[in-house]
Chains A and B, each alone.
Chain A
Amino acid sequence: MLPVLLLLLGCDGGPSDVTVIRDVQIVHAGVDVPVAVPGLSQRYTLTVADPTGGGVELLAWACTGFDGECAEAAFVAPAERMVVVDAVDQGDFSEDADLDLTVPAELALLAGADTGLPFDPFAGVWFLACEPGLCPWIRQARDALAAGAIDAELEAFLGDPTAALDQVPADGSSLAQRRLPLATDDGAEPNANPELRVAGDPVLAVQTGAEVPLTFEWIDEEPGSIELQAFTTVGAMGPPTAVFDDPEITWFAGEEAGAGRLYVVARDASGGSALWRADASVE
């Protein structure tokens, strides 16, 4: 029992190592309306950090998984359920990629139904970001799109990508998932993404060792459910704390000079999310 307790212990309020981005990492996948509407296409804006500047290639695919298979496989053509963004030249990657994926109309059967599952019905989307040439499935997906058909090997990967992830190194690859609630026809207004901004005009060009507190403000239909998560490619971020009810995150510039970017993601309890980011430098 004692070792388990030691494993369960959290960290203190200092710089958190888990906020530091060291290589390719998916930070955020925004969507215009955080609800999946069966039969419609959905545009995701994927933000990927690439601190090494080695370039990134992306694969995104709609996959509402059941027993290791994607429900979309039976209803949606490959070009509508899978998007590949080719590698870009080093340093030119914009961090954001817009990806259009279709939610199968057949998923409407699940919306509002009593499925007996311990979670609400959703439409799932996976994102895989890799250094160019590192992940074989991106090449296979590109070939599949060209051929208009997906082979069994790739389909198995799409259905359960975590099972195959031991084939590629953690450095240079990043897998992430979103699960959007299915829209229902109960007439309720769909959830909207929150708006997130930093208070004031913080100075983010600092000397080594500097600590910069960042106070955030947001607008959301469910303001009490907002959670913040911070990342950075320069220095480290502290955990969110509340100061007079205003959420505050401290950026610790660290002892190494360099330039990078700060990211803060806000999430509400219904799938809404927002991203704040800013360039920062340490001299």
Chain B
Amino acid sequence: MAGILPLILSLAGPSSAAPGADAPGDDAPPTTLPEPVGEATLPVLVRDAAAPYPPDALALGLGADVLLVLDVDADGTVLAAAVASSAVASSSASSSDPEQTLSPELVAAFDAAALQAARSFQFEPARTASGEAVPARIQYRYRFVADRAPPLRIVAVVTAGADGPPLSDVDVVAAGPDGVRQLATTDADGVARFAGLADGDWDIAVQALGLQTATRSISLSPDGVVELTFPMVADAPPPTDDVPGEVITITAEALPPQVTERVLTMDQVRYLPGTGGDVVKAVQNLPGVNRAPLGVAQILIRGTAPEDSKTYIDGMALPIVFHFAGLNTVVNSDSLEEVAFLPGSYGVRYGRTLAGLVDLRTTPSLPQESGGYVSVDLFQATAFHEQRIGDRTAVSMSARRSYVDTILTPVLTELTGSTFQAPRYYDVNARVLHRSANDDVWDAFLVGSSDAFRVIDPDTDEVSIGLTTRFIKLRLLHRHVDDDGWRHESAAIFGIEEEAFQIAPDGDAFERPLDLGLRHELYKAAPDTGFGDGAFGLGLRTGVDVVASRYRFQYEVPSFDTSESGDIGILAPAAYVEPTVRIGRFDLVPGLRADLWSTAPADDSAGWTNLAVDPRFNAAWRFSRKGRLKLGVGKYSQFPDPREVTVTSDGNPDLTHEYALQTGIGWEQRFGEDWSLELNRYYNWLERLVVGNEDAFRFFSGPPPGGELDTGDYENDGTGRSAGIELLLKWQTERTVVFLSNTISHSVRQKRPDQPERLFEYDQPIVLNLLASHEVPTPNRKRKGSWRFGGRFRFGSGNPYDPLVNRWFDLETGEWSPVFSAEQARTPPFYQLDLRVDRSWEFRRWTLSSYLDLQNATNRSNTEVIGYSDDYRTEEPITGLPLVPAFGFKGEW
């Protein structure tokens, strides 16, 4: 401000010499009083801004004058504003009592409103005698006249997260037609108001230090007031539900104005090639996730097997997350607030798994308004609708039915000579969400899903091979935040699931768990201590997590020459506690989780009980407002499959739980407004892995192991190591998103102590994804719309496999057996380019969009899996899909 001083001295007289100005609501436009000093001129107001009239004063018809001091820069903007003389009742007010004095609350309200308006003023700057524009300090009198109060147009409510407290003193900027820009600041209730805005399109942005910028575009019409809510997300780490471990969160569109700069929004994920508009599929592009062969529905996290990771909905286990071939998630993305991908070092809320997890988190917010859509594409048709019922309740329903079988069936039939019905799926979601008067969340969510795949014998017209996966789950949730800030969460999930396999002539295998999951959790976030080095805060998470299950299975496949069956009861209670200690810029999160797992076979054979105690520790250091370092170490236990410990199914009751010792360090950094970087290094030890009985039934959890099968008894003999470096570089602006995801990793296993260490079957040393999407608004002013162009390039190392080197012939059976090399090899590297173009048209009451998605645009033939000729004479690579042009339409209302 040093440069302003000469003009203050030379242009501004004592305050009494500057009588102030008329208010915008008065007849005369507000102007400064030019006070010539020589040839110089004072600033002249060229664009005013209306102050939102204090509601209480308006109700009473009170007017007021506020005298302000404004620092006007050389470009005419207001650098600073202060109250020179607080509000006094205006003599021109329309009140019946012009001499009425204002209450302190009204004085403060008028002062704040005047300041808000003044900060958006635009002046013709002060000029020296030579005409040079210079800064100036002036006095300005703002006059409020009740019967000329500008109409209130926008009310923005800013809170810390969806359920958090209101945020005061946060700037909210409204940018409107012709470059108009107005500024408001939230009050103690987190509310910012804009008045007198012109009709047209406005962009509303919320900005504050330590918070991610949130924006939303609206269109103002003559009728009504637009209400917006902005649940803000902390910029650098935060008081969130997640410990400062390694969490990558993708925020769904359903959370109202969550167009942020650090998270991928549903709007942007939807248009990324390869995601099919599915927010969960975006996870497969993130670092730490290996590429699943043939694009199947598996999430391979940090060099572990798919069965070592889990998926959840609001922290409750979900049997599957994707339909066959990974085409879509079983939960409609529009029901989700966010998708959290936790590749490792997560907190004690989650357990019973060795590796990472994906948690689908439903939105706790009621929709702003009722709406829905119908979409139709090459593979499936989807309908979604959500309806507000009164002020506190909303219901939503969605249904999806694939018809990909009608497209793939002839292709596969031609390919193999067999007749297919494959694959087809459908799912339904239904939800009732209620927020009571005390803002409790009552939530019932039903998820049902069914997938089927069949190969039909053309001679007999009967099923040669069939696979069915289906489940139906009801999730109930109640969440209450008490006056002391404790969040009480009770949740239950209940339902039946089935995975069934048929193979002619009489093979029949199935797994049918009937599960009940219960959780009660008490949670209080550590208070935000900002960046004060001496600040201290304490938070706590503690809860119980119980699973009760009846697990029935049968494997009767004569051609596999073995059979198993069982009916086993399972009771698995767990308890956990996790304090958060926040000291200045440091977050320390120690945690402890204890899991008990007990089985009771229905045939009265011996049960099995095992206890796992998992200590974990995470820490983070916020070294700046845009960066933090983090580390995590912990034990993650996983219990054997029930049949592996049951004697009647060749199990070994002497087994104990497997566990992983996970360690990781990471760096998160933002650069400017658009760039962010995440870099993680992890090293995991896997101990006491269950090995043995690699019989034909292993395929239930993924591709069969390569090379020689370990057909010995089940033992905790296996060990493994997995290490890697993960990079996520993201550039995101309002219309463009680009991210580069790279994982460099190494994963090995040793089945038995006397066997050599070998590359894990999912080991992929390099996985690289480059995604970009850019939106171009159409110039047509009559009908809004846009084009969006996107591309995804993927590179991945090939998977290890055991090369076929010879074979031998069984003269008794006429069958060949393979002889594999002792040295592992890799399938060729994977490259693929996907391209996508979207076009949208906005109509008065609805929006139409369409897309064309070219998957494998270069038609590259990528080897995905190594197969073999029936006589094991040759390797026969199975390649991925050729160029697939997919297109679809979506109508939203």
Contact = CB atoms under 8 A, between A and B. Distances in A.
B465 interface: yes
Given A1-B296, A4-B699, A166 B455 contact: no
B819 A5 contact: no
B871 interface: yes
Contacts of A101: none
A22 B807 CA distance: 14
Interface stretch (A66-74, A140-148, A171-179, A209-217): A171-179
Interface stretch (A10-18, A35-43, A150-158): A10-18
A259 interface: no
Contacts of A45: none
A265 interface: yes
Contacts of B807: 170, 175
B18 interface: no
Given A4-B699, A9-B418, A175 B870 contact: no
B811 A2 contact: no
Given A9-B455, A11-B417, A1 B814 contact: no
A235 to B, nearest CB: 16
Give the interface residue-count category, chain B.
Answer: 35 or more
A271 B871 contact: no
Contact of A179 (B418, B465, B703, B812): B812
B806 A28 contact: no
A168 B808 CA distance: 12
Contacts of B814: 227, 229, 265, 267
B857 interface: no
A172 B418 CA distance: 34
A173 B296 CA distance: 38
A166 B805 contact: yes
Contact of B808 (A3, A9, A177, A229): A177
B873 A2 contact: no
A229 B809 CA distance: 13
A226 B294 CA distance: 40
B416 interface: yes
Interface residues of A, number: 42
Given A3-B864, A9-B416, A127-B811, 9 more contacts: A2-B423, A3-B703, A3-B878, A9-B455, A11-B416, A16-B870, A17-B869, A166-B821, A177-B811
Interface string A240-258: 0000000000000000000
Contacts of A28: 811
Contacts of A3: 293-294, 296, 703, 864-865, 878
A29 interface: yes
Given A9-B418, A170-B806, A170-B807, A271 B869 contact: no
A6 interface: yes
A7 interface: yes
A170 B819 CA distance: 10
A29 B819 contact: no
A4 B704 contact: yes
11 contacts: A1-B699, A1-B700, A14-B417, A18-B870, A26-B809, A161-B808, A165-B819, A170-B805, A173-B806, A179-B812, A229-B814
A2 B453 contact: yes
Nearest to B454: A5
Interface of B: 293-294, 296, 324-325, 416-418, 423, 453, 455, 458, 464-465, 467, 503, 699-700, 702-704, 805-814, 816-817, 819-822, 864-865, 867, 869-871, 873, 878
A177 B819 CA distance: 14
Given A9-B418, A12-B417, A29 B811 contact: yes
Contacts of B811: 26, 28-29, 127, 176-178, 273
Contacts of A29: 811
Contacts of B867: 6-7
A8 interface: yes
A169 interface: yes
Nearest to A14: B417
A57 to B, nearest CB: 17
Given A3-B294, A4-B699, A227-B814, A162 B808 contact: yes
Contacts of B503: 8
Contacts of A267: 812-814
A18 B869 contact: yes
Nearest to B562: A118
Nearest to B464: A10
A74 B228 CA distance: 89
Nearest to B816: A18
A82 B844 CA distance: 91
A9 B699 CA distance: 14
Nearest to A1: B467
Given A1-B699, A3-B296, A5-B465, A176 B810 contact: yes
A162 B704 CA distance: 21
Q: Which 5 A-B pairs have the closest CB atoms?
A: A12-B417, A18-B871, A175-B808, A176-B809, A229-B814
A174 B418 contact: no
